[in-house]
């Protein structure tokens, strides 16, 4: 993609989103109570934030809202430990449990301790105290990060049952994907969960138009906009059929805030940009950057809301790192580093989108699809590696690269070759593609940034280095809720740890991002 084409598409997307947001914002009434907005960039390491900021600031003169908050003297910046009771590397489920219940648990568990005791969540406590509650996500509504705040299950993959918990708690707003867990044609028990929501007084919407048309309704709201997760932002921009049906994260956020903030007792809203994590699992640099960009624009929308409704506390964080997301120094004196990062702008689709087109196709077609959507010429051997990753059963998983052909595609797009002449490295490069490299396709253990901003933030005794469980304490203190869940230590949990089969683990990983 040429620079002017990239600017045209990106600028048009920004204008459309801004126009839509302005129209929706004008229809909003001032908040009647105080509230917490908790924003999650799932699996959003510092590398993807830096990549997003660099590409969009340099090419569009775009000012990142996340980085503006990082430099705002009114913000409190912390680092948080993210480990679970299972290991130093957490799954999204116990990470979200830590925020939502203030207790550590084991990987894959939703608000339940290893010994089976349930943990009362921040949304349950909020409902008991008369507050309005909502979740907004680009993943399935039944996925781990939102589900950990309203469901109790030792296995996050029980998503049909988890969808029922969404109704049981009677959340005021729930917007995201996951139709297959509400629809009687795809649920294993054939239950029509949509009908049950309607019977309980909900507006149920399934398209962007329906969401916007019903913007000012005061009824509780369920919005489910795709069979599984929402499509990646880059795909919603470039495929008109996807973009017309599925709302942007900002649009869902405004719709949620408009309903929740009518409660004079207050509200709490969790917003998740969940597919940053999936793109990183897939080693898809541009997919991750674009979903991070959508999150950043959503933060801008939230900041406009806070200006008009200052009795709002904002928390922005990530649950864990992912895949060793790293922008490598490239070329002599690292002079090719920016060029390598900007290479990814050529991509017109996510790996997920390309792979769907590649399935059941021959080698030549696979190569043609990859070259068309990345605008990158590859060798026959590289095309064969993608084809084999897509079709061949593997005997071994090497270097924790569980996702194929995604890992191969990410590696191909990060390829470079320089001629070494004696002690000097020659330039220009023989081959210089991208320079985002990965250590695996798995979560990583680095501490994550927390940004806290707004109402009462400086009265919550927030420290510079915290545990992820501390965020629950800050939220309950904000709402003057006095509650503490039971705790277990890693030693106490060890006897409850279960080892799953490799087949079950692979099925979980596939389910996780597909």
Question: Is position 508 annotated in a ligand binding site?
Answer: no
Question: Is position 82 annotated in a ligand binding site?
Answer: no
CB 497 within 8 A of CB 91: no
CB 104 within 8 A of CB 94: yes
CB 149 within 8 A of CB 40: no
CB 257 within 8 A of CB 417: no
Question: Is position 179 annotated in a ligand binding site?
Answer: no
Q: Which helix (H) or strand (E) holds 383?
A: helix 380-391
What strands lie across the sheet with 221-224, from one edge to the other?
203-205, 221-224, 173-177, 132-140, 267-273, 35-41, 312-317, 448-454, 76-81, 465-467
SS3 content of the chain, % helix, strand, coil (to 5): 45, 15, 40
CB 306 within 8 A of CB 454: yes
Q: Give, rounded to a whole angstrom, the gap between the first and last alpha carbons of the chain.
A: 27
Residue appearing with tokens 């921040």 = 122
Specify which residues 316 forms β-bridges with.
39, 451
Question: Is position 408 annotated in a ligand binding site?
Answer: no
CB 49 within 8 A of CB 274: no
Question: Is position 278 annotated in a ligand binding site?
Answer: no
- The string of DSSP letters for 249-294 reads HHHHHHHHHHHHTT-TT-EEEEEEETHHHHHHHTT-HHHHHHHHHH
**Tokens of residue 257, six digits:** 């805030």
CB 297 within 8 A of CB 250: yes
Backbone angles phi, psi at 354, to 5 degrees: -65, -45
Give CA–CA dist 10/236, Å, rounded. Answer: 12
∠ CA(12), CA(14), CA(15), 5° rounding?
Answer: 65
- For residue 160, how many other CB atoms are within 10 A of its CB? 17
Question: Is position 423 annotated in a ligand binding site?
Answer: no
Give CA–CA dist 276/169, Å, rounded. Answer: 28
Question: Is position 145 annotated in a ligand binding site?
Answer: yes
353 to each of 52, 233, 370, 446, 486, how far by Cα in Å? 21, 11, 10, 29, 43
CB 324 within 8 A of CB 439: yes
Question: Is position 34 annotated in a ligand binding site?
Answer: no
Question: Is position 90 annotated in a ligand binding site?
Answer: no
∠ CA(131), CA(482), CA(462), 5° rounding?
Answer: 90
Active site residues: 92
**Tokens of residue 270, six digits:** 């969790």
Closest to 270 (Cα-Cα) out of 226, 204, 230, 316: 316
Q: Which helix (H) or strand (E) holds 51?
A: helix 46-60
Binding-site residues for Mg(2+) sit at 42, 143, 145, 272
Binding-site residues for Zn(2+) sit at 42, 277, 281, 319-320, 443
């Amino acid at each position: 993609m040429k620079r002017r084409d990239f600017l045209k598409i990106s600028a048009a997307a920004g204008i459309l989103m801004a126009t839509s947001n302005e129209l929706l914002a004008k229809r909003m009434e001032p908040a009647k109570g105080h509230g917490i907005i908790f924003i999650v960039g799932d699996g959003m390491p510092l590398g993807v934030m830096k990549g997003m900021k660099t590409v969009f600031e340099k090419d569009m003169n775009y000012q990142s809202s996340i980085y503006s908050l990082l430099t705002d003297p009114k913000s409190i910046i912390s680092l948080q430990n993210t480990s679970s009771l299972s290991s130093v590397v957490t799954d999204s489920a116990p990470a979200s449990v830590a925020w939502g219940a203030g207790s550590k648990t084991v990987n894959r568990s939703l608000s339940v301790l290893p010994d089976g005791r349930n943990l009362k969540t921040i949304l349950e406590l909020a409902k008991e105290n008369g507050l309005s509650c909502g979740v907004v996500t680009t993943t399935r509504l039944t996925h781990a990060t939102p589900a950990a705040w309203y469901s109790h299950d030792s296995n996050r993959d029980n998503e049909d049952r988890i969808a029922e918990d969404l109704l049981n708690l009677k959340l005021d707003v729930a917007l995201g994907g996951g139709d297959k867990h509400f629809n009687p044609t795809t649920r294993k028990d054939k239950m029509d969960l949509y009908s049950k929501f309607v019977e309980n007084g909900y507006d149920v919407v399934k398209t962007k138009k329906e969401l916007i048309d019903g913007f000012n309704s005061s009824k509780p709201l369920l919005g489910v906009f795709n069979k599984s997760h929402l499509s990646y932002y880059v795909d919603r921009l470039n495929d008109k059929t996807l973009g017309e049906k599925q709302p942007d994260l900002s649009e869902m956020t405004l719709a949620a805030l408009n309903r929740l903030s009518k409660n004079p007792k207050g509200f709490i809203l969790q917003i998740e940009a969940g597919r940053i994590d999936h793109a990183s699992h897939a080693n898809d640099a541009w997919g991750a950057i674009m979903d991070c960009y959508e999150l950043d624009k959503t933060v801008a929308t939230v900041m406009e809301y806070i200006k008009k409704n200052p009795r709002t506390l904002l928390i922005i964080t990530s649950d864990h790192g992912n895949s060793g997301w790293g922008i490598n120094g490239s070329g002599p004196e690292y002079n090719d580093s920016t060029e390598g990062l900007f290479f990814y702008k050529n991509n017109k689709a996510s790996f997920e989108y390309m792979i769907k087109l590649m399935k059941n196709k021959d080698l030549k077609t696979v190569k043609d699809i990859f070259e068309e959507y990345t605008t990158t010429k590859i060798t026959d051997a590289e095309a064969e590696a993608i084809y084999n990753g897509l079709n061949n059963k593997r005997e071994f998983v090497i270097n924790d690269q569980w996702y194929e052909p995604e890992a191969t595609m990410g590696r191909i797009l990060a390829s470079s070759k320089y001629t070494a002449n004696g002690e000097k490295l020659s330039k220009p490069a023989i081959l210089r593609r991208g320079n985002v490299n990965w250590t695996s396709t798995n979560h990583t253990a680095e501490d994550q940034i927390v940004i806290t901003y707004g109402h009462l933030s400086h009265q919550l005794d927030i420290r510079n280095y915290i545990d992820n469980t501390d965020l629950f304490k800050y939220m309950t203190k904000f709402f003057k809720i006095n509650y503490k869940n039971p705790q277990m230590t890693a030693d106490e949990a060890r006897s409850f740890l279960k080892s799953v089969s490799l087949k079950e683990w692979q099925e979980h990983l596939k389910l996780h991002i597909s």
